[in-house]
Amino acid sequence: MNSFISRLKPRGREGSLGIILLVTVGITGLINPRFLTGDGTRDLFTSTAVVALLAIGMAPIIIMRHIDLSVASTVGLTAWFIADISAKNPDFTWVQCFIIGPLIGMIVGVLNGLLVAGLRLPSLVVTLGTLYIVRGAVYVISNSVDYNAQEMPPSLLDLGQKVFFGVMPFTFLLVIFAMLITAWFMKYRKAGRDCYAIGSNPHAADLVGLKVFRRTFLAFVFSGAMAGLAGVFYLMRFAQVDSTAFYGQELAVVAAAVIGGVTIAGGSGTTIGATIGALLVQTIQGGLAAIGVDAFWKSAINGLLLIVAIYADRTLARKSERTLLAQRIKERA
Amino acid sequence: MKFKLRFTWDTSILILLVVVWILASLTTDNFLSSINVSQIFSNTSEITIMAFGVIFLIITGEIDLSVASVLALSSSMLGWSYAHGAPIWLAIIIAMVVGSLCGFINGFLVTKVGLGSLAVTIGTLALYRGIANGILGTNTINEFPEFWTGFGFDTIGTSFIPQSLPIIVIFGIGFALLLHNTPFGRRTLAIGQSPEAARFAGINVVKHKIIVFTFTGFMAGVAGVIYTFRFSTAQADNGVGLELLVISACLLGGVSIFGGIGTMWGVIAGVLLAGSVESWLTLREINAQWRTIVTGILLLTSVAAPVLINKAKAAKIRAGNRS
Amino acid sequence: MAQQGDLLLQMKGVQKRFGGAIALSGTDLSIRAGEIHALLGENGAGKSTMLKILAGVHVNDGGTISMAGRSFQTGSPQASIEQGIAVIYQEPSLFLDLTLAENVFIGRQPMKGAAIDWTLVQNEAARLFDELGVPLDPKRLARGLSIADQQVVEIAKALSMNANIILMDEPTAALSASEVERLMTVMQSLKAANKAVIFVSHRLDEVFMISDFITVMRDGATVSENSVEQTDMQKVIKEMVGRELTELFPKTEHDIGDVVLEVKDITNPAYFRNISFKVRKGEIVALAGLVGSGRSEVARAIFGIDKYDSGSVEVNGELLQKGSPIVSMERKIALVPEDRRQQGLFMIAGVDRNIAMESFDRLKGKIFLNFKKERTLTETWRDKLSIKFESASDPVDSLSGGNQQKTVLAKWLATNPDILIVDEPTRGIDVGTKAEVHKLIDAAAGEGKAVLMISSELPEVLGMADRIIVMREGHQVAELSRKDATQEKVIAAATTGSKGA
């Protein structure tokens, strides 16, 4: 176990991101000591869980040079559907929710995957289309019916309240679990490595004979499944749902992953980074709230963070490129 | 084959538009009534105005997801500066300058700093909307001079033409000429077709793209002004989510997401198609929410169909010229 | 394990068509274990097509291919890999975000239980690099690696797949002398391990130094297959060209006037150093040398696509601002770039749009383009250069290579430049069109333009140029006048840097 963790130990970018996260947490704690208490930490985890889970699902897709904008709609769809089913079946428990949620999400994922991988259409447009279709489906099916806590399975809501070690909510524990599994998969399975190769050089991936269709397709199915699970998380956190649930949050997910070092140009990044990215965004938000910055600025700060992140990424890449070129010139001369 | 069919997506979308109109007027009582037509035009005015800029951007191979946020920011600035005592004309100018500035910042980050436009404008989407939020909070400003709010809402005299339509038509003609009849438009297309060849053709790609980003921002600023007056409201969440509708309209109109291909009439037809379908559904008293699904399906069709059509067409011409 | 001399691969009468164009009309090739086999031929002779068929990228339309005596139908890269065929392309396509070790083993990483055995991946890669005698760190990322090192990674990959036949497409084209030397050592070690190496090259001296067999191709067919002892450079060149030089080049004598373009000591340390030359009115100056010797980079620097660190360029005695194609165009310079598909043309745009691209000033009124003038322009140049197309709005992508090249020329000639720079003007176009292009270039000089021509084809250089400047590895190594120049002198200067025999 020890060696497993040490091998997964975040290196390079994830390492520095982790340090930035800790420093941010520290500073925020200095300003507002409540932030460092058990309650503060638990709140951070609770409020990050949904986005973090989605970012984990999104990471392999961005690594493959694609994007999935449909996730927020899928969250809305599954959240509403599960609430609807459990309202009509009072003996529904959390177990069924955890099975049905990802299954619904996977349907959207299969659709995305077929269009992107099968017809080789640009994922930006395809998932923009499914963003509409899925959200529209929620509107139509829901018929403006909302659900509240009393219509949801008590076992699910209880689970949402469950906290381990005083700070770790059940949902975030699952996030960590998903993060570690996917991180291991992306590092130690051929399918995971193929994702990096495909994103790094799609043309060469074809030449080498990698299974581009299958990998791309499955990545979208996986993202869909994670979005479905995130829909369940959404219910656990908010205990209410209407047809506009999680509306427009897809770009926040992309931002979390990119801030976490998943390069939008493909080929690099990890799910650990994506998770840290989601936490970092949430911490900075919390920190700024603590020093009295109006909550209205929240979105502006998100945007700025994203731009700073891609700028830093770009600058580092350029610097190393320049060093290598200089080295080559020297060798040649 | 004697009869040579020039079957491109932007012509087929026109046909589709006519088909929708015929079907809609057959199945509803007053689809082509002056009030309804007027409604279609004025409901789509912001999207159309923004699409005029965004089409250039997509053609150069870039994208701008921040336009709806720019709309909100310029709307907020319009309201804020008017509420703080600026004369209305100055407030309008401020709104447009802010819009242009937002566009310029996008362009600067993409071309000079070298960041991807998708990532940058996802960032500025949040940033600009956030600044609007920071300025206005939950306040709404809806005390505007009647002359101007009427402009967003009323029709010209007793006709059914909404007052904002002439502006759209003027911009539409202007941008259509710019895209299709000037060196600037040709260079825009060229950059999207091959950025490297554009460099060898002596096009200053960086400068060109900054200009396009800037006027995309300007158009979003104009859309912000129209939106503010049409709803008589300046608030931070004006036009949430419109960016995706604008991009859909462009792609529906046959603009290639890979850049280099696009026509202005295609985009106008794309906007009108989306607006007409929505209006049709409303008149048929079909749950208005269906329109979201229809938009999505149209969007997917618009991206899949040209791929297939172009493949067939290219194969045919190639066979002709090589033999 | 194959024994030395075992027949590994035999191709008989292999054919391939692309649409209406015939790329291979009947190619034979036999490859034995433990031999280095050079594939020679002019540009467009079909070498690349042949490699791509073996690589499984294209499927042959006719003829037979057999591997170790068994018939083999190509069709997918995977199938070729399974047959033990590995291809190293001119521009290796590595995964830049992955480590070198992983690039070697991508898709075939050794497993330990359910997980990839990273230690083994790294050790094996290190062992392969060692075997090839190249000190590369298997843990570093491929990003920033030189072409030469990338090729080594590709060769290591081939070895790790137990490939018996290693195909290399112009492996030395972009390499420096020391890198070429290293590659040759690697090739020798492959030969010693009883692998067969097939390589395409234009550097004849290298070919004769290292190969055991030489196959010459021309116009899509095999002309000869000889052991290196049975042939010599003269014979090979003759077989490659297959025609007398004199009948091909329409060069006429023109009055040569004042200096129009003067390049003074320009240096860009990454590509070229201390380049100086003059081109006069009515003169054709050729920039000869091997691919990768820095010729195209000099042209790009003059036109302003790239910058140079020191030195200057003067047009008609006045300094030319560097780094600005727009200014260069104002000073009446035109550059027909080497890669017409990527640099010269907008492939999905119509022929008319492409030809009009540089002539907007003359095509527009105050603001708007005059479509009638544009049509006239297209028609004028279509007739002048006899460009063949069905409709002016057809995308140039649908034209043949020769007509595409004429379209690029038309685009630039329409600007009526004083200085015409043409980079590989006849690459990949058929013989007939080639002659037409030569005539056009000669006519341009006849009209008093100063012409700078870059070409890898010796006959073209010798047939067209008034003066020849030879570059080698970024240095200017020789300048030959038309009457002094011979193939031998140019080759000698380009490959060894000596100033001629």
> Region C165-180: what's the mean pLDDT?
80
Judge whether A1 is closer than 8 Å to chain C, CB to CB: no
The residue that leads in pLDDT, B94 or C234, is B94
Residues C90 and C187 in one domain: yes
Number of structural domains (chain C) is 3
* C349, two tokens: 């745009």
Q: Does B3 reside within a domain?
A: no
The answer to whether A260 touches A275, Cβ cutoff 8 Å, is yes
The amino acid present at B298, given as its one-letter code, is: L
Check whether A258 has a pLDDT greater than 70. Answer: yes
**A205 contacts in chain C (CB < 8 Å):** 95
Judge whether B202 is closer than 8 Å to chain A, CB to CB: no
> Region A83-101: what's the mean pLDDT?
90
The amino acid present at B138, given as its one-letter code, is: T
Report the distance separating Cα A249 and Cα A241, nearest Å. 15
Which among C14, C46, C89, C52 is positioned nearest to C430, based on CA atoms? C46
Report the distance separating Cα B215 and Cα C499, nearest Å. 58
Which among B172, B176, B184, B53 is positioned nearest to C367, based on CA atoms? B184
Write down the pLDDT at residue C242. 64
Judge whether A332 is closer than 8 Å to chain C, CB to CB: yes
User: Could you give the 3-state DSSP secondary structure of residue C419?
Assistant: strand
Q: Does C15 reside within a domain?
A: yes
Tens of pLDDT along C55-75? Answer: 888 888 888 898 888 888 877
Write down the pLDDT at residue A151. 87
> Which value does ipTM take for this structure?
0.85
Residue for token pair 């193939």: C487
Q: In terms of residue numbers, what domain contains C186?
A: 7-94+145-241
Which among B322, B320, B314 is positioned nearest to C20, based on CA atoms? B322
The answer to whether C474 touches C272, Cβ cutoff 8 Å, is yes
Q: Does C25 reside within a domain?
A: yes
Write down the pLDDT at residue A165. 86
Write down the pLDDT at residue C82. 85
Q: Does B322 reside within a domain?
A: no
CB burial of residue A3 (10 Å; 0-12, 13-18, 19+):
exposed
Q: Does C364 reside within a domain?
A: yes
From B181, B193, B318, residue closest to C349, measured CB to CB: B193
From A130, A264, A314, residue closest to B296, measured CB to CB: A130
Residues C309 and C276 in one domain: yes
Q: Which residues lie below 8 Å from residue C414, measured CB to CB, with a gap of 6+?
A: C355, C356, C358, C359, C377, C381
The answer to whether C299 touches C335, Cβ cutoff 8 Å, is yes
Per-residue pLDDT of chain B (323 residues; tens, 9 = 90+): 333 344 567 777 888 888 888 988 888 888 878 778 888 888 888 999 999 999 999 999 999 999 999 999 999 999 999 999 999 999 999 999 999 999 999 999 999 998 889 889 988 998 999 999 989 888 888 888 877 777 666 777 777 777 778 888 999 999 999 999 999 999 999 999 999 999 999 999 999 999 999 999 999 999 999 999 988 889 988 888 788 789 888 988 889 888 999 999 899 998 888 888 878 887 777 666 777 788 788 778 877 876 777 667 666 666 665 44
Residues C425 and C360 in one domain: no
Q: Which residues lie below 8 Å from residue C387, measured CB to CB, with a gap of 6+?
A: C351, C381, C399, C403, C406, C407, C410
Report the distance separating Cα A4 and Cα A184, nearest Å. 9
Report the distance separating Cα C48 and Cα C391, nearest Å. 31
Report the distance separating Cα C44 and Cα C436, nearest Å. 17
Residues C164 and C312 in one domain: no
Count CB-CB contacts under 10 A for residue B182: 16
Check whether A314 has a pLDDT greater than 70. Answer: yes
Write down the pLDDT at residue B74. 97
Residues C18 and C87 in one domain: yes
The residue that leads in pLDDT, B50 or A243, is B50
Report the distance separating Cα C8 and Cα C131, nearest Å. 23
Check whether A302 has a pLDDT greater than 90. Answer: no
Overall residue count recorded for chain B in this entry: 323
Lowest mean pLDDT among C6-15, C75-84, C238-247: C238-247
The answer to whether C137 touches C100, Cβ cutoff 8 Å, is yes
Q: Per-residue confidence at A332, pLDDT binned at 50, 70, 90?
A: low
- DSSP designation for C371: H
Tens of pLDDT along C462-495? Answer: 889 999 999 988 899 999 998 888 877 887 787 6
The answer to whether B110 touches A310, Cβ cutoff 8 Å, is no
Contact C144 A268 (CB under 8 A): no
Q: Does B319 reside within a domain?
A: no
Which among A192, A194, A212 is positioned nearest to A271, based on CA atoms? A192
Percent of chain C with pLDDT over 90: 42
Domain boundary among C241, C273, C301: C241
Distance of CA A52 to the CA centre of its chain: 4
**Residues paired with A124 in a beta bridge:** none
From C57, C81, C106, residue closest to A197, measured CB to CB: C106
Report the distance separating Cα B51 and Cα B267, nearest Å. 7
Residues C11 and C54 in one domain: yes
Q: Does C132 reside within a domain?
A: no
Please give the order of strands across the beta sheet that includes C318-319.
Answer: C272-280, C259-268, C310-315, C318-319
Which among C177, C169, C181 is positioned nearest to C91, based on CA atoms? C169
Write down the pLDDT at residue B163. 77
A180–chain B nearest CA distance, Å: 26
Write down the pLDDT at residue A4. 47
Q: Does C310 reside within a domain?
A: yes
Report the distance separating Cα B187 and Cα C103, nearest Å. 40
What residues of chain A, 112 to 131, have a C-beta less than 8 Å from chain B?
115, 119, 121-122, 124-126, 128-131
Mean pLDDT of chain A: 87
Q: Does B34 reside within a domain?
A: yes
The torsion defined by the Cα of C402, C408, C409 and C414, in degrees rounded to 10, comes to 140
Residues C250 and C198 in one domain: no
- H-type helices in C220-343, by residue range? 233-241, 295-303, 325-330
The residue that leads in pLDDT, A150 or C233, is A150
Please check whether the domain covering A2-298 is classified as CATH 3.90.1150.10: no
CATH of the domain at B91: 1.10.3470
Residues C193 and C328 in one domain: no
Residues of C with a Cβ under 8 Å from any B Cβ are 19-21, 303, 305, 325-326, 328-329, 335, 337, 342-349, 353, 356-358, 360, 364, 367-369, 371, 388-390, 394-395, 397-400, 403
Q: Does B317 reside within a domain?
A: no
Report the distance separating Cα A263 and Cα A60, nearest Å. 11
Check whether C90 has a pLDDT greater than 90. Answer: no
Q: Does B63 reside within a domain?
A: yes
**H helices then E strands: how many in chain B?**
14, 0
Check whether C81 has a pLDDT greater than 50. Answer: yes
Residues C158 and C236 in one domain: yes
Domain boundary among C214, C241, C268: C241
* B105, two tokens: 């910042």
Q: Max CA-CA distance within chain A?
A: 78
Check whether C188 has a pLDDT greater than 60. Answer: yes
Q: Does B316 reside within a domain?
A: no
Contact A204 C95 (CB under 8 A): yes
Phi-psi label, residue A255: left if phi above 0, alpha if psi -120 to 50, beta otherwise: alpha
What residues of chain A, 252 to 271, have a C-beta less than 8 Å from chain B?
252, 254-255, 258, 264-265
Report the distance separating Cα C452 and Cα C465, nearest Å. 9
> Region A182-187: what's the mean pLDDT?
96
Report the distance separating Cα C22 and Cα C190, nearest Å. 34
Number of structural domains (chain B) is 1
Report the distance separating Cα C265 and Cα C311, nearest Å. 5
Long-range contacts of C337-340 (CB under 8 A, 24+ apart): C337/B200, C337/C296, C337/C299, C337/C300, C337/C408, C337/C423, C338/C296, C338/C423, C338/C424, C338/C427, C338/C454, C340/C401, C340/C404, C340/C405, C340/C408
> Region C120-125: what's the mean pLDDT?
94
Query: Which chains have 3+ CB pairs within 8 A of C?
Result: A, B
Write down the pLDDT at residue C462. 87
Side-chain half-sphere exposure of C118, counting CA atoms within 13 A: 13
Mean pLDDT of chain C: 87
C92–chain A nearest CA distance, Å: 9
Tens of pLDDT along B85-138? Answer: 999 999 999 999 999 999 999 999 999 998 889 889 988 998 999 999 989 888
Report the distance separating Cα C119 and Cα C102, nearest Å. 11
Contact B194 C358 (CB under 8 A): no
> Region A204-233: what's the mean pLDDT?
94
Contact B297 A133 (CB under 8 A): yes
Which among C164, C226, C143, C183 is positioned nearest to C7, based on CA atoms? C164
**Residues paired with C22 in a beta bridge:** C17
> Region A214-241: what's the mean pLDDT?
95
From B198, B200, B321, residue closest to C335, measured CB to CB: B200
Domain ranges of chain A: 2-298
User: Of A264-278, C202-216, C242-256, where does the model show the most confidence?
Assistant: A264-278
Percent of chain A with pLDDT over 70: 95
Alpha-carbon distances of B252 from A99, A274, B11, rounded to whole Å: 37, 33, 11
The answer to whether A208 touches A196, Cβ cutoff 8 Å, is no
Q: In terms of residue numbers, what domain contains B187?
A: 9-310
Residues C193 and C282 in one domain: no
Judge whether A268 is closer than 8 Å to chain C, CB to CB: yes
Write down the pLDDT at residue C287. 94
* B303, two tokens: 């991206």
Judge whether A326 is closer than 8 Å to chain C, CB to CB: no
State the count of interchain CB pairs (< 8 A) between A and B.
149
- Three-class HEC string of chain A: CHHHHHHHCCCHHHHHHHHHHHHHHHHHHHHCHHHHCHHHHHHHHHHHHHHHHHHHHHHHHHHCCCCCCCHHHHHHHHHHHHHHHHHHCCCCCHHHHHHHHHHHHHHHHHHHHHHHHHCCCCHHHHHHHHHHHHHHHHHHHHCCCCECHHHCCHHHHHHHHCEECCCEEHHHHHHHHHHHHHHHHHHHCHHHHHHHHHHHCHHHHHHHCCCHHHHHHHHHHHHHHHHHHHHHHHHHHHCCECCCCCCCCHHHHHHHHHHCCCCCCCCCCCHHHHHHHHHHHHHHHHHHHHCCCCHHHHHHHHHHHHHHHHHHHHHHHHHHHHHHHHHHHHHHC
Which among C251, C255, C291, C285 is positioned nearest to C435, based on CA atoms? C251
Judge whether A86 is closer than 8 Å to chain C, CB to CB: no
Count CB-CB contacts under 10 A for residue B70: 37
Residue for token pair 């003169």: C283
Q: Max CA-CA distance within chain C?
A: 78
Residues C152 and C284 in one domain: no
The torsion defined by the Cα of A201, A206, A209 and A210, in degrees rounded to 10, comes to 50
Check whether C443 has a pLDDT greater than 80. Answer: yes
Alpha-carbon distances of C222 from C203, C231, C240, rounded to whole Å: 19, 15, 10
Side-chain half-sphere exposure of C85, counting CA atoms within 13 A: 32
> Region A305-325: what's the mean pLDDT?
81
Which helix (H) or strand (E) segment holds residue C201: the answer is: none
Residues C385 and C480 in one domain: no
CATH of the domain at C16: 3.40.50.300
